[in-house]
A and B are shown apart, each in its own frame.
Chain A
Amino acid sequence: MAVFDPVKVAFFVEVLVSGLLSGILYALVALGFVLIFKASGVFNFAQGAMVLVAGLALVRTLNWLEAHLPFWLALLLALSFAGALMTGIAWAVERFVLRKLVNQTALALFMATIGITFVLEGLGQQIFGAQVYKLDIGLPRDNIFALESLFDGGILLNTLDLWSALLAAAIVGALAFFFQWTRTGRALRAVADDHSAAQSVGIPLTRVWFIVWVVAGLVAIAAAAVWGSKVGVQFSLVYVALKALPVIIVGGLTSVPGAILGGLLIGAGEKLAEVYLGPSLGGGIEHWFAYVVALVVLLVRPQGLFGDRIIERI
């Protein structure tokens, strides 16, 4: 009887839906990781800092241009500026860091991205300021109640979350298309499968790396726009990267669909755990719960749900 209490069911659905919506946002950040790992084998810890720099560039130019230009034009110009900046960062990273670290261990490359993180955080805050900046890219912020006929009081949804999720879904779709159907996308997949084989058939490795870093930079702009509209553009955006780590582990480091499904799984799982298990454990469990879920998944499948099988030879 209690199981079918409509109020409880409605609340469960609400938690589940909001978890899934957060999950899409996690997936958006996780995608940045996966793209770079797939193409270059680099576990890019700088993704969080890239989100911060992209957000700061976007919001500072937008606020400055808004005063002089109509909103849509200002937004467009600000987005292009942020895009140009991320392209520049991608070029610099490829030219000055990755190219010099070819053939290094995965660990050294990982540490190098942490070095890049410090550079981006320091310079980003120095150039664009370390205050909190309000970002309004025109997404609505009202609440709507869905399925009111089914449940008493309906299910509460926030349009900002919905639009963010839609935006994220659109970007994810576009990336999937890019990888599956374009020439560059095919080159990227070839590089991901086997560096040397791809190189031997004439695919320029360095250019491919540059392209994935640009794409990851553009993904960072989208993530910054979405998270920035929620909490303002500020330093704490770099922590969004930590939320994405369990997602890619669950989904598998090398899988785009894995990142999306992993995001949904982690998003929904951690919200349900916090709301239903949290109170009895003292609360605040979602942070490690996501990682424990990832750990459990790894124990069953050491390469994540969709990751490439790890084959070892002597």
Chain B
Amino acid sequence: MAHRISRLSALLICAALASPSAVSAQENGQFIPVLSYRTGPFAPNGIPWADGIVDYLELLNQRDGGINGVKILYEECETGYATDRGVECYERLKGKGPTGAAFVNPLSTGITFALTEKAPVDKIPLVTAGFGRSESKDGSVFTWNFPLVGTYWTAADVAIQHIAKELGGTDKLSGRKIVLLYHDSPFGKEPIPVLEALAKKRGFQLTMIPVANPGVEQKSQWLQIRQIRPDYVVMWGWGVMNPTAIQEAANVNFPRDKMIGFWFAGAEPDVVPAGANAVGYKALMLQHGAGRAKVHDDLDKFVYGKGLGKSKPVDTGGVLFNRGMVGAMLAVEGIRTAMKKFGNKPMTGEQVRWGLENIDLDEAQLKSLGFEGMISPVKISCADHEGSNKSRLQQWDGKGWKIISDWYTADEAMLAPMLKDAAARYAKEKGITPRDCSKES
């Protein structure tokens, strides 16, 4: 009996859910799903991030009439940062629009892990700009994953490079103490292999201290840090964990300028609640930082001028807002690249995948897109799905983020073999035969 009821209601719901999509299927355009979280514990970070994505897509529609004249149809779906809801959103939206979802950007490491299994089956590329599995940089194994412009491993290497530079040279790292304070989840554990390898190579002492989700209480972790007296604390946090850590660092008199946050611990919601205590705190940048570029002027004119903006105009230059825009821009450029080969019509996931793999954005193109100075040139290939392994550092001065370093490039000599091992391990586990990248065009 239960089956009958559930089946009946399932039928009703499916019919209902399907009917609006049937309407939009008639409409010609490129469908892009937006998985976001505007409620729940990670909403303070998720809202500006999602705003950036949606506003950029709206800008393209308003300013250019879409991508090469193909209108963008987008729909947001609330995941609440929960994996099962993210998967439901993906299943619901993957077939929408005339050609299905162009790509998916899940904004969450957990959902990325779950979708990594589903994307190859549905032939939808996963665009994870600045997050996701680090080893998915290897496009020969992870055909459908695109951890664009920065993986966690790149970040870990750059963080140590910067510490070495502050100390006065790589050789000065020897004998130093560095603490990794991380969010106790796959997200926080990603950098551990790289940091361990670096500790061995450079001779510094690495202590890893986990913080249980969500991280509102970190007294004992910081007392441990006070006891260890490390030279630096590298922080891999997300959400409320970050301002709490900064506040507790102040409580144990740990200098904030010796704290280096990861790029998801380096946005306004991470420092503002800690008030004056956050002054001096440093964080990595996912290439871009806070601040405005030409694209923001267009945004004011075409989106906010018409009252279509999601965010408040004053917040459009924020770190996470910019992250959303950069992620959306890169994926859209993938679609544009695909259109060059397949023609100006809505692209399928498979075509977008080809496009993403052939993205080649130089300074001039970035400038014409309005992103000058925000990111470095990006060139993606079958073997390298990251496209640019550079990062910079910024420091919070109480009012805004100031860029304090030049570009660092991750040490590929060290990371590449590790990456290859991890990807090979995954390929073996899943029975994937890696593509031969020399044969891809």
- Residues of A at the B interface (CB closer than 8 Å) are 11, 14-15, 18-19, 22, 121-122, 125, 130-136, 141, 143, 156, 158, 160-161, 227, 230-232, 234-237, 239-240, 243, 270-271, 274-275, 278-279, 282-284, 286-287
- Residues of B at the A interface (CB closer than 8 Å) are 38-41, 43-44, 47, 184, 208-212, 214-217, 219-221, 223-224, 226-227, 239-240, 243-244, 247, 250-253, 269, 272-277
Contact of B211 with A275 in the complex, beta carbons under 8 Å: no
- What residue in chain A is nearest B220 (Cβ atoms)? A274
- Write out the residue numbers on chain A whose beta carbons fall within 8 Å of the beta carbon of B221: 274, 283
Contact of A270 with B273 in the complex, beta carbons under 8 Å: no
> Within the complex, which residue of A122, A141, A236, A279 is in contact with B224, where a contact is CB–CB below 8 Å?
A279
Contact of B40 with A132 in the complex, beta carbons under 8 Å: no
Known interface pairs A131-B44, A132-B44, A283-B210; A275-B39 also in contact (CB < 8 Å):
no
CA of A232 to CA of B356 in the docked complex: distance in angstroms? 40
Contact of B216 with A237 in the complex, beta carbons under 8 Å: yes
CA of A243 to CA of B215 in the docked complex: distance in angstroms? 11
Tell me how far the C-beta of A243 lies from the nearest C-beta in chain B, rounded to whole angstroms.
7
Known pairs A130-B39, A131-B47, A135-B273 / 5 extra A-B pairs, C-beta < 8 Å: A132-B269, A234-B43, A270-B220, A284-B210, A286-B217
- Write out the residue numbers on chain A whose beta carbons fall within 8 Å of the beta carbon of B220: 15, 19, 270-271, 274-275, 278, 286
Main secondary structure of the interface of B (DSSP, over half): helix
Contact of B240 with A236 in the complex, beta carbons under 8 Å: yes
Tell me how far the C-beta of A14 lies from the nearest C-beta in chain B, rounded to whole angstroms.
7
- What residue in chain A is nearest B210 (Cβ atoms)? A284
- What residue in chain A is nearest B43 (Cβ atoms)? A130
- Write out the residue numbers on chain B whose beta carbons fall within 8 Å of the beta carbon of A14: 223, 226
> Within the complex, which residue of B43, B211, B250 is in contact with A131, where a contact is CB–CB below 8 Å?
B43
Contact of A132 with B212 in the complex, beta carbons under 8 Å: no
Main secondary structure of the interface of A (DSSP, over half): helix
Tell me how far the C-beta of B26 lies from the nearest C-beta in chain A, rounded to whole angstroms.
33
> Within the complex, which residue of A11, A231, A235 is in contact with B243, where a contact is CB–CB below 8 Å?
A231
Tell me how far the C-beta of A239 lies from the nearest C-beta in chain B, rounded to whole angstroms.
6
Contact of B47 with A130 in the complex, beta carbons under 8 Å: yes
CA of A227 to CA of B240 in the docked complex: distance in angstroms? 12
- What residue in chain A is nearest B252 (Cβ atoms)? A156
Known interface pairs A231-B240, A270-B220, A278-B224; A134-B210 also in contact (CB < 8 Å):
no
Please name 13 pairs of A and B residues whose Cβ atoms are closer than 8 Å in the assembled complex, sorted by A: A18-B219, A131-B269, A132-B243, A133-B273, A134-B273, A141-B276, A158-B250, A227-B216, A231-B273, A235-B41, A275-B227, A283-B210, A286-B220
- Write out the residue numbers on chain B whose beta carbons fall within 8 Å of the beta carbon of A160: 251
- What residue in chain B is nearest A237 (Cβ atoms)? B216
> Within the complex, which residue of B208, B227, B275 is in contact with A134, where a contact is CB–CB below 8 Å?
B275
- Write out the residue numbers on chain B whose beta carbons fall within 8 Å of the beta carbon of A237: 216
- Write out the residue numbers on chain B whose beta carbons fall within 8 Å of the beta carbon of A283: 208-210, 221
- What residue in chain B is nearest A279 (Cβ atoms)? B224
CA of A237 to CA of B47 in the docked complex: distance in angstroms? 18
Known interface pairs A22-B217, A236-B41, A236-B214; A132-B209 also in contact (CB < 8 Å):
no
Tell me how far the C-beta of B437 lies from the nearest C-beta in chain A, rounded to whole angstroms.
39
